[in-house]
Amino acid sequence: MRALILVGGFGTRLRPHVVLAVSYMSDALEAAMREQEQRLGIRISMSHEKEPLGTAGPLALARDLLAEDGEPFFVLNSDVICEFPFAALARFHRQHGGEGSLVVTRVEEPAKYGVVVCEADTGRICRFVEKPRVFVSNKINAGLYIFNPGILQRIQLRPTSIEKEIFPAMAQDGQLYAMELQGFWMDIGQPKDFLTGMCMYLQALRAQHPEKLHSGPGVVGNVLVDPSAKIGANCVIGPNVTIGAGVVVEDGVRIKRCTVLEGARIRSHSWLESCIVGWSCSVGQWVRMENVTVLGEDVIVNDELYLNGANVLPHKSIAESVPEPRIIM
């Protein structure tokens, strides 16, 4: 089977033949994908949009790749994290025989998204309502679909929104069905939600593969640490921390609810909560970072500073505290 991942930058999910629909082709992306191909023994193709094609257009662009074997194919939104029930979705899809299936998930505040109204027993979708002002349903589109190749006849090669143009038409024709997602789901497009999604992911990992989580003195709760990372003495790491490859955490550091990306260094006695530390960053000694502070790639934070909700663009050097949330360019 095939899967198309709608990405702007890097996609992260892997299938036997993965097509990445990208609007910006970079050497770094290609190199990373070659590595993943090797690692997993799968084929990854790139479908490069020269002009933005929306959420449906990319399917038309990748038409030949997707329809190649006549089988249904998956489409994924890369901004989503969940347990990805591909097998269950494929089964559900074959059972009802319709043209397409999408995964829905329950949320507490459906009005922030587009809600899906469907028949309780069959799951056939009746209609979509964008950001409803009164309560209609608490199920929203989770951004994971499976389609028969026939859908490609509905989509032209122009900027098209799958939610606004394609799905309503399919629902009208009774061809679209919804399967409810089990387990966690998060739209991780915003840093704040990214961290929430990370916590959910780690919690699911604890339930299913607890051996993958880190343990030891100074480790609290769910913590994922790359084997090549180094953590110093008298640190307290966690709960809800992920530490990437080659990261160095010096002595006396406290980290809670953070993602620390590859190659970063956190110097001694610093305190981090709810942060994303970008690749190759250097965070100084006695630094305090909190409240969804996000450091882009290769940012240097000087010693003894306080960053509260700072959004720092890549390659910046920070020499002054940021006591109230703001963007540093």
Partner 1 sequence: MPLKAVILIGGPQKGTRFRPLSFEVPKPLFPVAGVPMVQHHIEACAKVPGMKEILLMGFYQPNEALSRFLVSAQQEFKVPIRYLQEYAALGTGGGIYHFRDQILSGGAEAFFVLNADVCSEFPLQEMLEFRQQHGDMHSFVILGTTANRTQALNYGCIVANASTQEVQHYVEKPSTFVSEIINCGIYLFTPAIFQHIGEVFQRNQQELALEENSNGWQRAEVIRLEQDVFTALAGSGKLYVYKTDGFWSQIKSAGSAIYASRLYLNQYSKSHPERLAQNKPGGPVIRGNVYIHPTASIDSTAVLGPNVSIGEGVTVGAGVRVRESIVLHGASLHDHTCVLNTIVGWDSTIGRWARVEGTPSDPNPNDPYAKIDSETLFRDGRLTPSITILGCSVTIPAEVVILNSIVLPHKELSRSYKNQIILALPAPSCHSSPGYLCTICCLQLPGRSWPISKTWEL
Bridging pattern class, strands 100-106 and 139-147: antiparallel
SS3 102: strand
HSE-CB at 322 with a 13 A cutoff on CA atoms is: 23
Provide the minimum distance between the beta carbon of 225 and partner 1 in the complex, in angstroms, as a whole number: 20
Q: DSSP readout, 307-318?
A: EESEEE-TT-EE
Q: Minimum distance from CB of 217 to partner 1 (Å)?
A: 15
Please state the closest distance from residue 328 (CB atom) to partner 1, in A: 19
> Which residue in 131, 164, 192, 230 is the catalytic one?
131
Site for partner 1 contains 208 (CB under 8 A): no
With CA atoms as reference, report the closest residue to 63 among 151, 159, 166.
151
Stretch that binds partner 1, among 9-17, 113-121, 156-164, 282-290 (CB under 8 A): 282-290
Residue with tokens 């006591």: 323
Part of the chain binding partner 1 (CB under 8 A), chosen from 118-126, 191-199, 212-220, 248-256: 248-256
| Cβ proximity of 158 and 61 under 8 Å | no
Establish if 304 lies at the interface with partner 1 (CB under 8 A): yes
How many positions of this chain bind partner 1 (CB under 8 A)? 15
**Residue 290 binds partner 1 (CB under 8 A):** yes
Rounded Cα–Cα distance for residues 203 and 211 (Å): 13
Answer yes or no: 212 catalytic: no
Smallest separation (angstroms) from partner 1 to the CB of 287: 9
Give the C-alpha separation, 123 to 84, whole Å: 19
Q: 249 to 268, contacts with partner 1 by CB under 8 A? A: 251-252, 254, 268
Gap between the Cα atoms of 20 and 2, Å rounded: 11
| CB of 218 vs partner 1, minimal distance in Å | 13
Could you tell me the two tokens for 43? Answer: 């084929």
Closest to partner 1 by CB, 4 vs 255, is 255
Binding mask 14-43 for partner 1 (x = CB under 8 A): ------------------------------
Beta-strand runs (E) in 181-247: 185-187, 223-225, 230-231, 236-237, 241-243
Q: How far is the CB of 286 from partner 1 (least distance, A)?
A: 4
- Residue 54 φ then ψ, to 5°: 75, -155
Nearer residue to partner 1 within complex by CB, 10 or 306:
306
Distances (CA, A) of 215 to 202, 233, 236, 259: 13, 14, 11, 17
φ/ψ region of 125 (left if φ > 0, alpha if ψ in -120 to 50, else beta) reads beta
Q: Pull the structure tokens for residue 260.
A: 């620390």
Comparing CB distances to partner 1, the nearer of 187 and 290 is 290
CA–CA separation, 118 and 180 (whole Å): 11
Selected from 323, 325, 326, 327, the binder of partner 1 by CB under 8 A is 323
* Residue in 154, 214, 269, 316 binding partner 1, rule: CB under 8 A: 269
71 binds partner 1 (CB under 8 A): no
Q: Which of 96, 127, 192, 288 binds partner 1 (CB under 8 A)?
A: 288
Query: Does residue number 320 form part of the binding site for partner 1 (CB under 8 A)?
Result: no
Minimum distance from CB of 201 to partner 1 (Å)?
24
Enzyme catalytic residues: 131
Residues within the interface to partner 1 (CB under 8 A): 234, 251-252, 254, 268-269, 271, 273, 285-286, 288, 290, 304, 306, 323
